[in-house]
Amino acid sequence: MIFADKIISLRKKMGWSQEELAHQLNVSRQAVSKWESAQSVPDLERVLQLSQLFGVTTDYLLKDDMETEVYTKEEAAPSMRKVTLSQANEYLQLRKGAAVRIAIATLLCIVAVIPLFLLTGAAEFNYLSMQPETAVVVSLALLLVMVAAAVGMFIYTGHQVKPYAFLEKEPFETEYGVRGMVQEKQKALRKKSLPLVVTACCILILSPIPLFIGAFSKGENGNMLTLLCLGITMLLAAVGVFLLIYTGVQAAAAEKLLEEGEYSRKNKQNGNPAGAISTCYWLIVTAVFLLWSFLGNAWDISWLVWPVAGVLYAGIMAIISIRSGKE
């Protein structure tokens, strides 16, 4: 087995792509491609790095007559991945852009239902020259378009950071200077995001006010005004959620690189129950909201599911955090 075949075999056993191996060695993907196609051979320094990454001896890598993998005595298993300064900077930049897209996608998912009750209500109360059935079809089409756009953003964002998925699941090492750089950016981000978080919380707390005003409206226009106020309430809630997600995604990126909080090595080794619980929780909340809204035609009150669910979620996550700390 020649050197090129050994590199390909070891890389695939690690589950790495050529791009990921290139990141580990701080070389270009083209360089890795040339090694694997036997067009060139890396210098001695790179051979030593490959030996350490794969946990095999240099003799195994260089000698064509050695078919069986020979692991080093010091390390029978492959070493942890190493995150370089350029990788850390690239990841933080990617997540900064992702924060905007994820926040917009979430906002679209929330406001997607607003046309549904506004158009159908306007048609039912003769504010629009269309049948209520037509209004339902149009509003559902708008809902699907907005949700499709949001899903597209989620998929694109997930694909963009796929090479860095290991940050959430695997322990890793960082080059000298990475932690200091990330901590400085984390400190600056906290200072910048604090006013946004405060603003978001105030918006979310005050968002029901338009709905309360609409609830006390009377007369012929009262019902339509109530629906309009409900739309304003949901729009305000969407803006508050947008701000929280925009700051939260960037904060989570720094925590992943520093292996802090939810992304600590202890949680990675023991498994992180918070992630699975969070996913199941919000799926159940969404199902309750949709069932209550559609089956009970309770769009004027079903929005209460979200603030109540948010308060309960904070409590559940706090309990999990305390339990994890005790363990």
Kindly calculate the radius of gyration of the chain based on its CA atoms and give it in whole angstroms: 26
3-79 placed in CATH 1.10.260.40: yes
Mean pLDDT by 10 residues, the chain (327 residues): 80 80 82 86 84 80 65 51 88 93 91 84 80 85 91 91 85 85 91 92 88 72 78 89 91 89 72 65 79 72 69 68 54
Residue type, 226: T
Sheet strands (E) in 5-62: none
Rounded alpha-carbon distances, angstroms, from residue 44 to 47, 51, 62, 306: 5, 10, 10, 59
CA distance 119 to 132: 8
CA distance 302 to 294: 10
Helix, strand, coil percentages (3-state) for the chain, rounded to 5, are 75, 0, 20
For 116, the token pair is 């549904």
CA distance 207 to 231: 10
Which pLDDT does position 327 carry in this prediction? 45
CA distance 208 to 226: 12
Which pLDDT does position 153 carry in this prediction? 93
CA distance 217 to 209: 13
CB-based burial label for 317 (10 Å; 0-12, 13-18, 19+): middle
Which pLDDT does position 98 carry in this prediction? 93
pTM for the structure as a whole: 0.65
The three-point CA angle 206-140-246 to 5° equals 40
Residues 305 and 285 sit within 8 Å (Cβ to Cβ): yes
